[in-house]
Structure 1
């Protein structure tokens, strides 16, 4: 029986889809996640999109910004979301984000995973509107002085 995707299920799904070999731009992770989600009920894809946007939103804070462009900051946050250990470390210690920002470690393909799965299930593009925006600087509390 499939259950709604809560935070633990979200992270387990990412972990289950992570390749054993290095995946520098998360292309393999994104492809595997898309494939897995495309064979799931539509609600699972929607739940995944909500959890992904929530995780990215939580990292949308000025202490992580490092003077990156909006796109670079978003793609770098996606790289952090590509693994729960990294995500939890960064939330505990903003300095853990620094190597991602300095080395420009990106995971842009992860951002499109729910959209691609949705399109494979429905045959239509998804005009997605999640509860939280993952666009850079959308977390007003995270950017407040």
Structure 2
């Protein structure tokens, strides 16, 4: 199983009145990690959009373990947890500089036609991408 890693330095604007990263920011970090994973696997989300499709979030889960503060480095680890050809679940683990797990989570996505928002078969519209996801979900 391939795990993509992306580092982020916590910016002041990402913190709240308690001087810790605002909880909603982790959803943005998940997107950064997911985009990096897709790129690391050889694809670009922008190409999907150019072809007339988007991949909305249908479910998202987060669990907070430790806070991040301004100036710290966060590493977002992202991988494909499951892929059915209709839905893909991405898993995330965000760790601090000492390797402590601070946030874990997952997001579920489906591919839809940008105009109609009707789901499409990933395998049919993006066969090469689908083949890589099938391989990765099996941990090969």
Q: Scaled by the length of structure 1, what TM-score is found?
A: 0.28
Structure with greater strand percent:
2
Greater relative CO, 1 or 2 (CA 8 Å, sep 6+): 1
